[in-house]
Amino acid sequence: MSDLVPTPSQTVGPFFHFALAYEGGGQLVPGHHPDAVVLHGTVFDGSGAAVPDALIEIWQADDTGEVPQGLGSLDRDPTVFTGFGRAATTRAGTYLFTTVRPAVGFVTLAVFARGLSHHLFTRAYLADTDDSLLGSLPADRRGTLLATPEGPSSYRFDIRLQGDGETVFLEYP
Amino acid sequence: MPASTSETTQQQIDEEIRRIETDAAELVAAGATPERHPRRDYPPYRSSLLRHPTHRLVRVDPEEIERHSPAFGHTDVDPLEADLTIQHSGEPLGERITVSGRVLDGDGRPVRRQLVELWQANSAGRYVHKRDQHPAPLDPNFTGVGRAITGDDGSYSFRTIKPGPYPWRNHTNAWRPAHIHFSLFGSQFTQRLVTQMYFPGDPLFALDPIYQSIADPAARERLVGHYDHGSSVPEQSLGYRWDIVLTGSRSTWLEPEDADE
């Protein structure tokens, strides 16, 4: 049991781009990497409008299942896979990462936005499996965690913060 | 349903805030644990209305990858990035301060060698951001972005200037208390935190729906740094201290498979 109570979260606010977004943030591997895949999508609010001021982070194992521990997520070295990426949504509410398929099947995402007081965790599954999370979800919500393949090397993963098709968001006990 | 943003007065926002705080206090009085984080569904903060999930979060044991965190180090961050007052040719305007403290986990252990990012408005309350239309002056000698890697004792320290309060459009005559944004990583990704540090005694606290979105008064006070004369530097800067606690999943320490890692 923990003794200290956590410092509370606060929204990332509207003006984070100049501080948190950085060159190459969405490029976990260069586009010409032989196993590169694109993971992209749109963030929507409860009215179905795109969210142009969200920040998405991904964190994932590599294609052998290893947990990356290399430095260089902020100052990219194309020879090191760090497993971490960060991308702000565009004015159209879209985000895009270039990465590799994680051997464990999913990518973990953290979603931050103006109006969102505490970030949300979710997972994008690039392959349909029945792991303990997917297996536990009702049929009508399970699909929100499955990225849609678009050809051999691209996956679409839309994030719906609220309403119809609301993405399954996670908490860790 | 709350009135539309443009017509809403501070008094209406205050009433909504107090009602929620009273409800939360009653829950605590009835035996509930005080709320430690802000409510995602917090109508006085109008932008939250369409941006909070309505389903309960799904509890899941973290997988191995989630019980680790990205690694950052001195190849990512230059030590000079912790000084926001030396990023341009001249001195920034405003009250020079230091903000320092420690990053700890829920068991009080230091979060070592991890990334701390910080960003803020200038002393006039203006961000270097093209969408910030507040007609206060930009400061050519201040960007307002800093980064640091924590020490082996979890410590961090930034040198900067005190940010100004600024207006926003949540309701009529809405002002944010002066604050510094912080972004933190722990030793597992489940500890990820983005938050804001405030300054003691700010008269805008009671009026601000972002600060008040944390319904428990003791919890929101954890966001207020304290003035520390011992870290003030003669003729140079006033010192503020603020410790940060990152609690993530507790399963890390219960999983036997961790033993051989």
Q: Report, in angstroms and rounded to the nearest whole number, the Rg of chain B calculated over CA atoms.
A: 20
For the domain spanning A16-160, the CATH number is 2.60.130.10
For chain B, percent of residues with pLDDT exceeding 70:
93
Instruction: Measure A67 CA to nearest chain B CA, in Å.
Output: 6
Reported as a pLDDT band with limits 50, 70 and 90, residue B2 is low
Q: For residues B167, B169, B170 and B175, what is the CA-based torsion angle, rounded to 10 degrees? A: 10
Q: What's the pLDDT score for residue B260?
A: 37
Inter-chain contact A71–B72, Cβ cutoff 8 Å?
yes
Question: For residue B169, what is the DSSP state?
Answer: S
For residues B65-84, average pLDDT: 94
Inter-chain contact A83–B127, Cβ cutoff 8 Å?
no
- For A170, residues 6+ apart whose C-beta sits below 8 A from its C-beta are A120, A121, A122, A123, A133, B57, B58, B59, B60
pLDDT at B76 over 60: yes
Query: What is chain B's mean pLDDT, rounded?
Result: 93
Report the b/e string of B65-95 with b at 16+ CB within 10 A: bbbbbbbbeeebbeeebbebbeeeeeebebe
Q: What's the pLDDT score for residue A89?
A: 98
Q: What's the pLDDT score for residue B258?
A: 39
Q: Number of residue pairs across A and B with CB atoms under 8 Å? A: 241
Q: What's the pLDDT score for residue B257?
A: 40
SS3 call for A125: strand
Q: What's the pLDDT score for residue A117?
A: 98
- The number of angstroms, rounded, from the C-alpha of B90 to the middle of its chain's C-alpha atoms is 28
Question: Among all residues of B, which ones are annotated catalytic?
Answer: 127, 166, 176, 179, 181
What would the two tokens of residue B50 be? 């369409």
For residues B111-130, average pLDDT: 95
Q: Which of A46, A116, A117, A119 is nearest to B54 (CA)?
A: A46
Convert the pLDDT of each residue in A31-69 to its tens digit.
999 999 999 999 999 999 999 999 999 999 999 999 999
**B138 interface with A at CB cutoff 8 Å:** no
**Pairing of β B226-227 and β B193-198:** unpaired
Top residue of B17, B66, B185, B205 to mutate, by most chain A CBs within 10 Å, is B66
Convert the pLDDT of each residue in B182-238 to its tens digit.
999 999 999 999 999 999 999 999 999 999 999 999 999 999 999 999 999 999 999
Q: Is B84 left (phi over 0), alpha (psi -120 to 50) or beta?
A: alpha
pLDDT at B171 over 60: yes
Q: What's the pLDDT score for residue B129?
A: 84
Burial of A98 (0-12, 13-18, 19+ CB in 10 A): buried
pLDDT at A26 over 80: yes
Q: What's the pLDDT score for residue B6?
A: 62
**Residue A23 burial (CB count, 10 A):** 9
Of B49, B106, B147, the CB nearest to A4: B106
Dihedral of alpha carbons B188, B103, B45, B126, sign: negative
For residues B33-57, average pLDDT: 97
Inter-chain contact B45–A60, Cβ cutoff 8 Å?
no
Please give the single-letter amino acid code of residue A140: D
DSSP bridge partners of A112: A55
For residues A90-111, average pLDDT: 97
Convert the pLDDT of each residue in A132-161 to its tens digit.
999 999 999 999 999 999 989 999 999 999
pLDDT at B68 over 50: yes
Q: What's the pLDDT score for residue B254?
A: 42
Reported as a pLDDT band with limits 50, 70 and 90, residue B115 is very high
**A116 interface with B at CB cutoff 8 Å:** yes
pLDDT at A17 over 80: yes
pLDDT at B5 over 70: no
Q: Report, in angstroms and rounded to the nearest whole number, the Rg of chain A calculated over CA atoms.
A: 16
Of A1, A18, A168, the CB nearest to B58: A168
Q: What's the pLDDT score for residue A9?
A: 98
Convert the pLDDT of each residue in B135-167 to its tens digit.
899 999 999 999 999 999 999 999 999 999 999
For chain B, percent of residues with pLDDT exceeding 90:
88
pLDDT at B261 over 60: no
For residues B85-107, average pLDDT: 97
Inter-chain contact B107–A15, Cβ cutoff 8 Å?
no
Give B-chain residues touching A168 at CB under 8 angstroms: 55, 58
Q: In this predicted complex, what is the ipTM?
A: 0.96
Convert the pLDDT of each residue in A104-122 to its tens digit.
999 999 999 999 999 999 9
